[in-house]
Structure 1
């Protein structure tokens, strides 16, 4: 203790005080930006999804139950709405294509260029794009225009990078102000905590706003929050020091090459091997894919039989889901006392498998509650794997790293929109929850991808560790098959 005190200055220098004050300001801004952004985007996406379903239902000559104050489980919710749900799923997929296809290039270059010009620019740009997107959406709602005009806002969001470019910059900012240890994983997980807070607030309030005020007022609220977020984005300090910025004299091909450098040689990594980096990306791909479409899928799933939820009931369910994100971050902190990141990632996958299986078999509120409980730590796999990858990469390459991560997530969104919405549309007639078992299968593949080598603690043999987790996965799969068989009977 004395030796530590001897190395610590008794009187902090002005530079130390300034650095601490700046770091504290960064963390406050990250908190506000993340919460405000998720409040904005969740309100906007809920309004778009539910307005789309309402619009198509009206076009089909049948009114939906979204604005009904006394909708019961059977009222306005019958098999004739299957066609409206089918078309709504297709339109939701179209929104995703129009928004995220142009976003791919923006995310790639946004992440790489943030290592050259800093993080702030790539925080402000997507926040500004979100403001413009929901302003355009507000116009559609105000004048009751055709849902095809939602594409205008989607294109604007796409060319400004969407929230994936924002996440690249936010994660790069965290890497700039944190150490190469579990604290970085936890700080990345805090972004999920802030997202959960934003989700709880927005999901519940949006349901009631839609019920009592219609679609325009919630969208107006989203526009106001987006503008406030833009102001906070302008206030956040730059965290990438000039000494760590890449030389701007690099050619276009040199800059683009930094994006692919992690796949060519282990010398481009701070620690570990190329195959470990690739396995982490593979795990992220199969784990993230279900979560990119789950929120929109839940809306379609709950609007039909046997749930027939109203907008505020959907809000309650999504708010409970948001609470699990908050709880999961604190559980992650506790798990770090006894487990390494790799084992936590596998346990999180098992939690996700259980959650999706129960939700796919659900027939009422109590089973949905069980699903939420089973998935208490499911989302921890995402920040944990990102933290592992961040520790594999040098501090001067964090922007390029997270560009890889969020380009992959953008591809997952496009892939998920193509696959999962179509699976739901084609299978709802014989088993409406079938898509959730497909989700569970993807999560299982992610858990398996995290098993080799570094996944197993040094005091446990690889074969033993893999057999334990594999056995658990087989038990879960057997339980799912049995549940499907019973439901079909």
Structure 2
């Protein structure tokens, strides 16, 4: 079966159900990047400021709307109002981060798995609109907690509302599925890398804006930006973005068929050896993203407390430097693809991760901390390579189910990363504060071994045909 041209819908109508005529709006762009830019801007402003808000509330009950966030982290978190002192504050904040993330995960995991395959029927735009609205509701709930100085437990309400609508993970899944719809196999790796570079561009802007704005005006104004950016994401997806699935059809949302479509990717006996590569690449992706999420969760706490004692401005610059690695990784991927295979680019990205996290684990001064951030310059090159390889292993009609599975994996990454790293950080404070980063270094050795082993197996003559092996659907058609 010949591959469909780029930009043509790949979803076929259900048997017995006619596909309604579609009238695409030619004036609408196919650029899904603004959706990811705006959503990441909202998340990038919110995440570090929420940690600092919890720090201030749990340490001494500082009013949430007040300015004066520019004092250093140790001064803010001295723990005057907390019985455990600074270590008690660190432990409490880490645990509340865990509770908030768990609340969103347990509802978000099932939502993403439902909405992802559903998008193969109804189109990609609905699964971009719904989670953006959920993020706006979450920001509104957080603002109510801050204005009324409600107990921090009420933050869980906003997190659950966002999780019910699919949360940020569904936006990621919808955007990557959209790119798979409008790209071919040869350009997919770079297109995915461009999309991931949008994460860095928006995150870098969010880090600088959030830190400086909080320093000048307190928490409330930046969180209003979160609400506006999330709302604009939904409006762009609803009124400006062209649908990539043209042959849309009505489909039930609450059905087990969506879960079955995801499961078939890994249990279909007709896939031959390809299912093993799917499982191994998924495991590698899981470990890499878990380390990214886990170390990112604790970085703000690591910087706030001694010996670094960073204030909100330095935290913003540090986060911007970390997000810059998305752009440098894109440039590195574009350059290295001219000389080596994608797998070896991913291996170099993992090496960059190992070196950067190793230095951060031992950083006791600001220059050394920024050195660690600098060594992460290629750290984001591994994930677009793995996403692209996963996409190439399945049929073109299964991209929606695949990226639903990837989104499910990312949700599991968030759960494991939050549970492990936010629990490990307070537990390791008495003997080595940077131990969680060294633990992340050890975890990254496993995906490095997996990617290298698959590449060496594919380079052998008896395995080299697997990359372009036709699917059972294609064989039946031929």
The aligned counterpart of 2:390 is 389
The aligned runs of 1:8-27 (5 Å cut-off) are: 25-27=29-31
Matched, 1:256 2:256: no
Offset of residue 67 of structure 1? 3.4
Residues 50 and 66 (structure 1 numbering): CA distance in 2 closer, same or farther, change over 3 Å?
A: farther
* Structure 1 residue runs without a partner (length 5+): 1-17, 463-489
Q: Judge conservation of contact 1:165–1:406 (CA < 8 Å) in 2.
A: yes
Matched, 1:93 2:94: no
Residues 66 and 435 (structure 1 numbering): CA distance in 2 closer, same or farther, change over 3 Å?
A: farther
The aligned runs of 1:351-370 (5 Å cut-off) are: 351-370=352-371
The aligned runs of 1:315-354 (5 Å cut-off) are: 315-354=316-355
DSSP 3-state at the match of 1:452: helix
Residues 225 and 75 (structure 1 numbering): CA distance in 2 closer, same or farther, change over 3 Å?
A: closer
Equivalent residue for 1:204, pick from 204, 208, 222: 208
Q: Judge conservation of contact 1:77–1:305 (CA < 8 Å) in 2.
A: no
Matched, 1:217 2:218: no
Per-residue CA distance 1:102-127 (angstroms, 9 max, x = gap): 00111111111111211111010101
Q: Judge conservation of contact 1:66–1:311 (CA < 8 Å) in 2.
A: no
Offset of residue 324 of structure 1? 1.7
For 1:74 and 1:260, locate their aligned partners in 2 and report how far apart those are by CA, in whole Å. Answer: 51
The aligned counterpart of 1:58 is 60
Q: Judge conservation of contact 1:49–1:296 (CA < 8 Å) in 2.
A: no
DSSP 3-state at the match of 2:244: coil
For 1:406 and 1:251, locate their aligned partners in 2 and report how far apart those are by CA, in whole Å. Answer: 18
The aligned runs of 1:184-195 (5 Å cut-off) are: 184-195=188-199
Matched, 1:283 2:284: yes
Per-residue CA distance 1:185-238 (angstroms, 9 max, x = gap): 111111211111111111011111111211111111111111222211112111
For 1:455 and 1:102, locate their aligned partners in 2 and report how far apart those are by CA, in whole Å. Answer: 40
Of stretches 50-59 and 73-82 in structure 1, the one that deviates more from structure 2 is 73-82
The aligned runs of 1:46-125 (5 Å cut-off) are: 46-58=48-60, 67=68, 69=70, 71=72, 80-125=85-130
Q: Judge conservation of contact 1:266–1:273 (CA < 8 Å) in 2.
A: no
User: TM-score, with normalisation over the residues of structure 1?
Assistant: 0.83
For 2:173 and 2:232, locate their aligned partners in 1 and report how far apart those are by CA, in whole Å. Answer: 21
Offset of residue 369 of structure 1? 2.4
Offset of residue 454 of structure 1? 3.0
Residues 351 and 457 (structure 1 numbering): CA distance in 2 closer, same or farther, change over 3 Å?
A: farther
The aligned counterpart of 2:20 is none
Residues 52 and 198 (structure 1 numbering): CA distance in 2 closer, same or farther, change over 3 Å?
A: same
For 2:137 and 2:73, locate their aligned partners in 1 and report how far apart those are by CA, in whole Å. Answer: 37
DSSP 3-state at the match of 2:459: coil
Q: Judge conservation of contact 2:117–2:404 (CA < 8 Å) in 1.
A: yes
The aligned counterpart of 2:5 is none
Of stretches 226-235 and 274-283 in structure 1, the one that deviates more from structure 2 is 226-235
Of stretches 328-337 and 74-83 in structure 1, the one that deviates more from structure 2 is 74-83
Structure 1 or 2: more helix by fraction:
1
Q: Judge conservation of contact 2:118–2:251 (CA < 8 Å) in 1.
A: no
Of stretches 255-264 and 437-446 in structure 1, the one that deviates more from structure 2 is 255-264
DSSP 3-state at the match of 2:313: helix
Matched, 1:37 2:42: no
Offset of residue 365 of structure 1? 2.0
For 2:309 and 2:145, locate their aligned partners in 1 and report how far apart those are by CA, in whole Å. Answer: 27
Equivalent residue for 1:267, pick from 259, 270, 273: 270
Q: Judge conservation of contact 1:164–1:410 (CA < 8 Å) in 2.
A: yes
For 2:253 and 2:170, locate their aligned partners in 1 and report how far apart those are by CA, in whole Å. Answer: 22
Offset of residue 373 of structure 1? 2.4
Q: Judge conservation of contact 1:261–1:268 (CA < 8 Å) in 2.
A: no
For 1:196 and 1:253, locate their aligned partners in 2 and report how far apart those are by CA, in whole Å. Answer: 36
Q: Judge conservation of contact 2:205–2:320 (CA < 8 Å) in 1.
A: yes
For 2:351 and 2:392, locate their aligned partners in 1 and report how far apart those are by CA, in whole Å. Answer: 24
DSSP 3-state at the match of 1:112: helix
The aligned counterpart of 1:478 is none
The aligned counterpart of 1:434 is 435
For 1:299 and 1:251, locate their aligned partners in 2 and report how far apart those are by CA, in whole Å. Answer: 39
Per-residue CA distance 1:119-156 (angstroms, 9 max, x = gap): 11101010111111101111111122211111111010
Equivalent residue for 1:154, pick from 153, 159, 165: 159
DSSP 3-state at the match of 1:450: helix
The aligned counterpart of 1:485 is none
User: TM-score, with normalisation over the residues of structure 2?
Assistant: 0.85
Of stretches 384-393 and 222-231 in structure 1, the one that deviates more from structure 2 is 222-231
Offset of residue 411 of structure 1? 0.7
For 1:75 and 1:262, locate their aligned partners in 2 and report how far apart those are by CA, in whole Å. Answer: 50
For 1:109 and 1:219, locate their aligned partners in 2 and report how far apart those are by CA, in whole Å. Answer: 29
DSSP 3-state at the match of 2:335: helix
The aligned counterpart of 2:298 is 297
